[in-house]
Amino acid sequence: MKYRLGIAIFALLPVALCAAQSATGPTIPAEEDFVYARTIGATRDGIETRSRLVTDKGESWFELTSHSAEQDLVLRLDPATLLANYTEVTSRGKGATLRRETTILDNRTPPAPDKIVVAGMDSLPYTLRAFPWGSLQKATIVFLGTSAAGNFRFDLSVTGKETLAVGDKGVECWKAQLSLSGILGAFFGKSYLWYSTDYPHYLVRSEGPSAGPGSPTSILTLVSYSTRAASQ
């Protein structure tokens, strides 16, 4: 799934929350399927995403795969925090096809109750599922590998609840605003995200700039969501 700078799309939680997650196991179902519709300006396409719990040699993680016409995404998510320890992005453009891989070898970022640590914009929508929705209203998003004294940061603010239609039913959602702080914030528009208020807090809609200033609005809308028991 393609999430560019500023797109409404896309953790480290308070220490107590992380401990609770580790004790209780995975924060999302063993297997999930998502189908999204995406509009960028006048262009429309679809995105299919699948997540499944994998256990091998005493270790567990969620493997997430996503496919669209222009991009494939593979993530390995920590089962407690949903931080992407491994990211693989294959982008198909007019003149070339590129593949980028990122692996977290060491994470020494200190935990803080008002900070969400993510590996990058591609994994942000999935890591945010572990955000303490309903308990915390604001947080700063910290990208691994960037300096704490950098010139930009993203701020997440929960603004309220809305009910959105998904198929023939309504899904109550937390609505959140994602904005770039500082001087750069004046050049990039705000993005908005809607996550289901009920477990497992999946992304229902996102809306915001598709790239830099003047770029068309990107809207991602959930078409269907389903879960399954773990495959045998």
Each residue of 191-204: pLDDT tens digit?
999 999 999 999 99
Q: How far apart are CA 219 and CA 8, in angstroms?
A: 8
Domain assignment of residue 110, yes or no: yes
pLDDT surpasses 50 at 149: no
Mean pLDDT to the nearest integer, 111-129: 89
Domain assignment of residue 6, yes or no: no
pLDDT surpasses 90 at 72: yes
* CATH number of the domain to which 161 belongs: 2.50.20
Domain assignment of residue 133, yes or no: yes
Phi, psi for residue 129 in degrees, rounded to 5? -65, -25
Q: How far apart are CA 56 and CA 50, in angstroms?
A: 19
pLDDT surpasses 70 at 95: yes
In angstroms, what CA-CA distances link 131 with 53, 105, 112, 216? 19, 23, 13, 28
Confidence band (pLDDT; 50, 70, 90) for 57?
very high
Domain assignment of residue 88, yes or no: yes
Q: What kind and span of H or E run contains 125?
A: helix 124-127
pLDDT surpasses 70 at 7: no
Which one is predicted more confidently, 217 or 8? 217
Domain assignment of residue 171, yes or no: yes
Domain assignment of residue 71, yes or no: yes
Per-chain mean pLDDT for the chain: 83
Mean pLDDT to the nearest integer, 41-45: 92
Domain count, the chain: 1
Residue 10: the pLDDT is: 33
Please give the model's pTM, rounded to 2 decimal places. Answer: 0.83
Q: How far apart are CA 101 and CA 96, in angstroms?
A: 17
Strands 169-180 and 71-77: unpaired
Domain assignment of residue 8, yes or no: no
The single-letter code of the amino acid at 200 is: P
Residue 144: the pLDDT is: 86
pLDDT surpasses 90 at 102: yes
Q: How far apart are CA 6 and CA 211, in angstroms?
A: 6
Q: Which of 131, 195, 209 is nearest to 162 (CA)?
A: 195
Of 9-23, 61-75, 96-110, 124-138, the one with minimum mean pLDDT is: 9-23
Give the range of the structural domain holding residue 93, as residue numbers without chain letter: 15-228
Domain assignment of residue 201, yes or no: yes
Phi, psi for residue 130 in degrees, rounded to 5? -90, 0
Exposure class string for 192-230: b at 16+ Cβ within 10 A, else e: bbbbbbeebbbbbbbbbbbeeeebeebbbbbeebeeeee
